Structure 1
């Protein structure tokens, strides 16, 4: 029996058809663009998510029998819909959208910054879905007055597929300050104050069944009516599940447009500059981190230079550790953890006329590695115990990026046979609904990236400079950011 997994990502929607042995039989994608209506604002028309899902389902499930469907998506996003499930405005995307700074300041004053972290697991930041809801209420009261329900990409697909209005616990735990991590449920006093009039969805775990495909959804997608659909979750957590990185001590590193880290713990930990969330599996918790840009910088350099990725990677490999004296801050869209500064900006230090595009590309990859190390050291300071790292995502297909990250962090990284990412994790969750699957059986380790001692020693010195670069340039970056917002 086949299962279908679909993920709604930042730059594309991806789907996989997976056989009972875990082999990907078919895959497909639909590229899309993100709307940027102003500085620090990232939006998408949520209606595209369902259209792309239906197209992918029809393409992938042709001539085969699908037994279950799994879904995931970028997040936390805020898609508010009216009583008829029509979006009242485009969805506001996750932490890359930094518009809600005034709402964050106000909520911290009203609710107490320490109390928000204690109850919700995280400080308010651009990642917090609750602050984005408050922005809509403050800035677009006419639209907000029509809003009745809250969706994210995964729950929007579930609604269209099954008619069920549900959200998974993990996604809810990123709706700070609406969710109580200790109590595993919505915190009604704050939810009513921050999101008045919104009927918050009932909560389930990502691998639980949300419902079954309706006849109407079957007509639109070509899927059989009556097959089960998972509740689903946010993409990074589906990716962690796809490679089995959901046990205490595990660290998932997701290489993509943005870089994401998920460390699993057996107890609820909190720390300024990290997201403390509920895990994707009952009984687990996470300390998570994320960069606002990583692969996005390499795409920017590719577009500027006109060269292809393979050419740039080859030139970056020739550049060598340290990029011939270049050091980059990868804060090209502000930064999320552990800096939590939406007004941070990218910096390239040490440029001379002798530097090449290969040096710049190498510096971008190294900047990601330094940011990953910064997050890992913060996780450890919070009480996390990182014992095993697993790499996933498109960036694992080339050896250079993962090698640089291992050299900088000193951590070996497992790379599994299948690194497709969240869509594969969603398929694995779907397989669980019909009694099949399991990450270790489906997706064994292909190889391990090990740190190189000589390179690690060189990067230790550069990392100390990296930590000094942000505080040395932050005030100037903030002034420039303010000018960009005028």
Structure 2
């Protein structure tokens, strides 16, 4: 038997997982990470990443024979970057994925043609390239950029490593040509940029020093990883063209697979490159379960789910048709399936009590999810494949059924879809054996098309949803 090690470098913690050939978790451990936040500033200490990773990996491997370990891969937060010296030692704190102190005006002026060709049209201030220019203003000689997983991969191998296309996306890599474009080289000294490889490429092996600290056997292959969102998609098994992973936690994130690169006039969908060369389009909404903790603080959500099931699912769920609907924004402004910085939460109707308030939020999140698929269909993406639900929301059977009903199609639930599992798969595991299905939820007879179209009409009336997108949602619903 072989065992693969997946590591997920998140915002709040590091997670390490040892996974066997059949998907069995033979060891897992996590360690917390600390951040420094102050307004637009969000920094972390790269040395803390390494200490936490080494400790978590050593614990995860405690009961795993070293002779079985066949590979390791690391996922990291998208757009996190720092400067190191030529030996890989940090010269600056890491600017995290949501640090917004940089300005994107210069990179969008110089690279507009490239960003347009790559489908996302423009960079945001929190993307890695604007932050890199901000860091380079006062950089000493010899300073060079490193993404979050580049930093730890260098520690694992003991030598300089290439970066992967997934983490380099927000640094401006040309995903079509798989190289740094001339426009980026005009902004950044070309000699400081690392070589670029596809995720899944072998970077080297675990060196003796790293083996001593992490417990990983010396000589273990180190495989180029991906961003945490792409890693979660791999862990969910959404790897076939037309399949989609819908992650509903605090907010909603949708990621899928297409053969061709999508171009979104709104710029709310952008695509990563898969290890096999296909494309991984996706978008992140500002709506989600975070609205539950805000609007129903201290409530027992499991109890509300049980009560909603009993009250609203009688006689095949007809009572759902009269439930109010909440647009469950977690914070002001929407990013996907439309771009509306001024968008605010609202409720159509007046909930009678906490059960209806709970159901209204869940229904609104399901409608946003449906609208995301309508937008992707409008862009020409195949959306007829498997829909895999992951994230904290899948703990609610009521919500899972609601989402299947709103989408009008079966949805799949996995036993385990952590980013660390996705990295274990990328490190060399067989996804057909390692990714296990927990359940498939079939849509019921409840027809929620009419309240969905009322919701779409309200978004259009408020000027947030474009007329073309609203019209397409109506046409697709009528099919």
TM-score normalised over the length of structure 2: 0.83
The question of whether the paired residues in 1 share the 8 Å contact of 2:78 and 2:227 is answered with: yes
Distance between the aligned counterparts of 1:323 and 1:10, measured in 2? 40
Matches within 5 A, 1:206-221: 206-221=199-214
Pick closer, same or farther for the CA change 1:8–1:298 going to 2, 3 Å. Answer: farther
Q: Give the equivalent residue in structure 2 for 1:478.
A: none
**Match for residue 73 of structure 1 among 73, 76, 92:** 76
Matched, 1:193 2:186: yes
Distance between the aligned counterparts of 2:335 and 2:99, measured in 1? 10
* SS state at 1:180 partner: coil
Q: Give the equivalent residue in structure 2 for 1:424.
A: 421
* SS state at 1:376 partner: helix
Pick closer, same or farther for the CA change 1:350–1:245 going to 2, 3 Å. Answer: closer
**Match for residue 166 of structure 1 among 155, 162, 171:** 162
Q: Which entry has the higher C-alpha Rg, 1 or 2?
A: 2
Matched, 1:48 2:26: no
Q: Give the equivalent residue in structure 1 for 2:94.
A: 91
Pick closer, same or farther for the CA change 1:117–1:208 going to 2, 3 Å. Answer: same
Per the TM alignment, residue 286 of structure 1 is displaced from its structure 2 partner at its CA by: 2.4
Per the TM alignment, residue 57 of structure 1 is displaced from its structure 2 partner at its CA by: 0.9
* SS state at 2:104 partner: helix
**Match for residue 286 of structure 1 among 272, 280, 295:** 280
Q: Give the equivalent residue in structure 2 for 1:184.
A: 178
Per the TM alignment, residue 312 of structure 1 is displaced from its structure 2 partner at its CA by: 4.8
Cα offsets for 1:45-90 (capped at 9, x unmatched)? 3333222211111111113224122211221322333444343443
Pick closer, same or farther for the CA change 1:463–1:237 going to 2, 3 Å. Answer: same
The question of whether the paired residues in 2 share the 8 Å contact of 1:88 and 1:146 is answered with: no
Q: Give the equivalent residue in structure 1 for 2:476.
A: none
Distance between the aligned counterparts of 2:322 and 2:14, measured in 1? 34
Q: How large is the RMSD of aligned CA atoms in angstroms?
A: 3.1
Matched, 1:306 2:298: yes
TM-score normalised over the length of structure 1: 0.82
Matched, 1:244 2:242: no
Per the TM alignment, residue 293 of structure 1 is displaced from its structure 2 partner at its CA by: 5.4
Per the TM alignment, residue 407 of structure 1 is displaced from its structure 2 partner at its CA by: 2.8
The question of whether the paired residues in 2 share the 8 Å contact of 1:126 and 1:336 is answered with: no
Matches within 5 A, 1:84-163: 84-94=87-97, 96-100=98-102, 103-112=103-112, 115-119=114-118, 121-125=120-124, 128-137=127-136, 141-142=137-138, 144-145=139-140, 148-163=143-158
Cα offsets for 1:78-113 (capped at 9, x unmatched)? 23334443434433333x55554xx3344334443x
Matches within 5 A, 1:284-433: 284-292=278-286, 294-301=288-295, 305-314=297-306, 317=309, 320=312, 321=320, 324-332=323-331, 334-340=333-339, 343-344=341-342, 346-349=344-347, 355-388=352-385, 389-416=387-414, 418-430=415-427, 432=428
Matched, 1:443 2:441: no
Pick closer, same or farther for the CA change 1:473–1:387 going to 2, 3 Å. Answer: closer
Cα offsets for 1:157-211 (capped at 9, x unmatched)? 2122113422212222333xx2212211111x22223334772222222222211
Distance between the aligned counterparts of 2:84 and 2:322, measured in 1? 48
Pick closer, same or farther for the CA change 1:162–1:367 going to 2, 3 Å. Answer: farther
Task: Count residues in correspondence.
Answer: 452
Per the TM alignment, residue 21 of structure 1 is displaced from its structure 2 partner at its CA by: 2.0
Pick closer, same or farther for the CA change 1:439–1:408 going to 2, 3 Å. Answer: same
Q: Give the equivalent residue in structure 2 for 1:270.
A: 263
* SS state at 1:233 partner: coil
